[in-house]
Amino acid sequence: MLLRFGYVAIALDVPQGSPNKTVTVKVLEKITDPSGRLHRLRRILRENLETTLRVLRYNAKNKIHLYRFTSKTVPLATHPLTAGWNYIEEYRPQWEELGDYIRQNDLRVSAHPDHFTLLNSPQPEVLAASLQDLEYHARLFDAMKLPLGPQLVLHIGGLYKDKTAAMDRFVQQYTRLPAALGQRLMLENDDKSYHAADVLALCRKTGCPMILDVHHHACLPCDIPLTKLWPDIVATWQGKRPKIHISSPKSAKDFRSHADFVNAADLTEFLAVAKDCGQDVDIMVEAKQKDLALFRLVEDLARLPGITRVEPAALEL
């Protein structure tokens, strides 16, 4: 059973390895000349694209097969100040270069729209903004010419004082999405509102694959044991390699926040269950120390009985 590991957005072991440079609305508004605003936006995007390619090269060199793009690649992409800016066509060669590199090196990439992307919101303006954000993310994968597949991680959203109605509304809104956009989504359990069983039920209704966030599952458990839950989650991937998220709590007092590194013990229960299932798994490390946390976790796990390190960011179980 192969376990592959990845990290989120910023490569700390790469000089200038942050591809999420941006500009605030306040600063951009101070640039009154439209051409000046556009020049600022173009400069930032160009730098982010160059950094992203540099990070992908680092990943390939170190055999890191998983990577999550920052949502800030395009500065203020969905803000009215940038309306009319065709950041796809202007940088078409750079987007396609990223896509070519991803395919040539067999990298699995994803993105995670922000927490304000609420597909089950009853408020039309919130829903409209959420759809705009999802379309922005999908547009980037289209620009890179990456095939349709589960690439955008999404939470279910708010409870709105009626969980059943909110879940039904999610399904309704999902069915109205363009088919291509729907095929890019995967759903994740959260730490406050929708536990793993809730999300699994919605994945069965929508056909979306499910991300199991192990830390969120500790924060908000459900009644179904992991031994039963995991095979059912694997089934939502319909033969594709499932992916999970792992992080450790920052502290006992601040349990929901992510720590700098991941404690290997926080993953061992899942690994025991996964081993019985026998399905290869991709594991996204959500830790403040990014790639450094990934390598430390892999090293720590490789010391455990029955686990062998086969690549810098992969283990055999």
Which residue bears the tokens 């109605």?
A: 165
Report the chain's terminal Cα–Cα distance, integer Å.
5
Is pLDDT of 131 > 90? yes
Is the whole-model pTM more than 0.85? yes
62 contacts 313 by C-beta, under 8 angstroms = yes
Tally of structural domains, the chain: 1
Is pLDDT of 160 > 90? yes
Average pLDDT, the chain: 96
Residue 22: per-residue pLDDT: 95
Is pLDDT of 1 > 90? yes
136 contacts 168 by C-beta, under 8 angstroms = no
195 contacts 202 by C-beta, under 8 angstroms = no
54 contacts 8 by C-beta, under 8 angstroms = no
pLDDT band at residue 274 using 50, 70 and 90 as cut-offs:
very high
pLDDT tens for each residue of 64-111: 999 999 999 999 999 999 999 999 999 999 999 999 999 999 999 999
Residues 42-69, mean pLDDT to the nearest whole number: 98
Residue 127: per-residue pLDDT: 97
196 contacts 185 by C-beta, under 8 angstroms = no
CATH number of the domain to which 11 belongs: 3.20.20.150
Percent of the chain's residues with pLDDT above 90: 98
Residues 192-211, mean pLDDT to the nearest whole number: 98
CA atoms of 26 and 40, how far apart (whole Å):
13
Is pLDDT of 169 > 90? yes
pLDDT tens for each residue of 212-251: 999 999 999 999 999 999 999 999 999 999 999 999 999 9
Query: Which residues, including other chains, have CB under 8 Å from residue 67's CB and lie 6 or more apart?
Result: 6, 7, 55, 56, 59, 107, 108, 109, 110
CA atoms of 131 and 173, how far apart (whole Å):
10
- Residues β-bridged to residue 152: 111, 185
CA atoms of 39 and 222, how far apart (whole Å):
50
Q: Specify the DSSP element, H or E, that contains 108.
A: strand 108-111
CA atoms of 208 and 150, how far apart (whole Å):
8
- Residues β-bridged to residue 186: 153
Residues 132-160, mean pLDDT to the nearest whole number: 96
Question: DSSP of 269-287, one letter per residue?
Answer: HHHHHHHHHT--EEEEE--
Residue 115: per-residue pLDDT: 87
Which residue bears the tokens 């991709």?
A: 282
Residue 11: per-residue pLDDT: 98
Residues 17-31, mean pLDDT to the nearest whole number: 95
Residue 280: domain span? 2-316
